[in-house]
Amino acid sequence: MRCEEVRENIADYLAKTLREPLESQTSEHLKQCASCSDEFDELRTMWADLGEIIVPSPDPSKTRAAILAAVAHESPAPNRFQKRRFDMKEALRAAAIIVVLATLATGASLYLRRRETPSPSAPAVAKAEAGHVRGVPSAPIILAEYGDYECLSCDSRDMVRRLLQKYPDAIKYEYHHFPLTEIHANALPAAMAAEAAGDQGKFWEMHDLLLASHAKWSHSPQAKQLFSDMAKQLGLDENKFNHSLESSTTEAGILLDMKTGSALGIKGVPSFFMDGKKLELGPGAFEQVDHLIADRLKMLQAR
């Protein structure tokens, strides 16, 4: 190795990031070449000496308090419905914990058979709890759907649109994933595609597109490629989308939705819940939900 090459490697050598065989070659050169060795010794001493700069450790409590105050300012304000919403959230969290513990105890789960399954991470938990929302986030009534994009009956877009038009301030509609992976091979990748689009702020655009183009991808062996094409169509960053599409974090969030759904007693899709209570809907679902919302609003207003 020549002296010029050693100089090129000095930054890596200082930071101990030089890889083999360059590290051995550089070390060997430094043993042989007194000039390079002197220069390197001087720089290494300076590099080490920099660590002697004493940095104060200010009390972070005031800064911390200011930041947490800003965070609290953006948290939802308490209102008369907050307690009920909190209970729903707690119920979902408890259900998820119970299922996770049960899964750990038995060492097996319906969904864990597919392949090595990631643990639900903090964002996965947060996303699964929150679902994806249409309507007013602080609305008094929560209508939650657990759906599967590959299920033909799961296209509730028209019903939800009509309900949100009729009750613009009263409903918060949440969508949660419940892909039936045993019978729908593309349902989980489709849910991941929706989440991957959500990572770039276009969950609902992909959600609508998946439901609208169900026939095109539902039985396709190249479903993922079709999802990438759809992402392109929506103007998403394709690389980011494909990364999210394969991400264990994305998958963990969906699996947590599924586990929570199972804990809530879901047997099929679509399944709807109003303020945590499962709805048994048949034909004419819009009219049934409309009626239930009207009753629920009357009850809330009477309190």
Partner 1 sequence: MEATDNDLMLAVRYGDLDQFGVLFDRHHQRLFDFFYRLSGDSASSEDLVQDVFLRMFRYRKTFDTSSEFRGWMYHIARTARVDRFRSEKKDPLLKHDGTEKPASPLRVVESDERSALLQRALLQLPPDKRELLILARFEEMKYEQIASLLNVEVGTVKVRVHRAIAELREIFLRISGEKPKCAVKKSEKILRTT
Name the residue nearer to partner 1 (CB basis): 29 or 127: 127
Number of chain positions touching partner 1 (CB under 8 A) = 55
- Choosing from 4, 16, 19, 54, the residue that interacts with partner 1 (CB under 8 A) is 54
CB 281 within 8 A of CB 289: yes
Closest CA to 160 of 176, 149, 137, 144: 144
By the rule CB under 8 A, 71 interacts with partner 1: yes
Report the C-alpha gap between 298 and 170 in whole angstroms: 11
Report the C-alpha gap between 199 and 214 in whole angstroms: 22
Order of strands across the sheet with 277-279?
132-135, 171-177, 141-147, 271-274, 277-279
By the rule CB under 8 A, 77 interacts with partner 1: no
* Nearest distance from C-beta of residue 272 to partner 1, angstroms: 22
- Choosing from 66, 98, 108, 183, the residue that interacts with partner 1 (CB under 8 A) is 66
By the rule CB under 8 A, 239 interacts with partner 1: yes
DSSP string covering 70-95: HHHHHSPPP-TTHHHHHHHHHHHHHH
Q: Tell me which stretch binds partner 1 (CB under 8 A): 61-69, 95-103, 183-191, 202-210.
A: 61-69
List the interface residues with partner 1, window 191-210 (CB under 8 A): 199-201
Name the residue nearer to partner 1 (CB basis): 47 or 204: 47
Phi then psi for residue 118, to 5 deg, are -70, 150
Closest CA to 174 of 137, 202, 133: 133
| Interface residue list for partner 1 (CB under 8 A) | 7-8, 10-12, 14-15, 17, 34-35, 37-38, 41-43, 46-47, 49-58, 60, 63-64, 66-68, 70-71, 74-75, 119, 121-123, 125-127, 130, 199-201, 239-240, 243-244, 247, 249-250
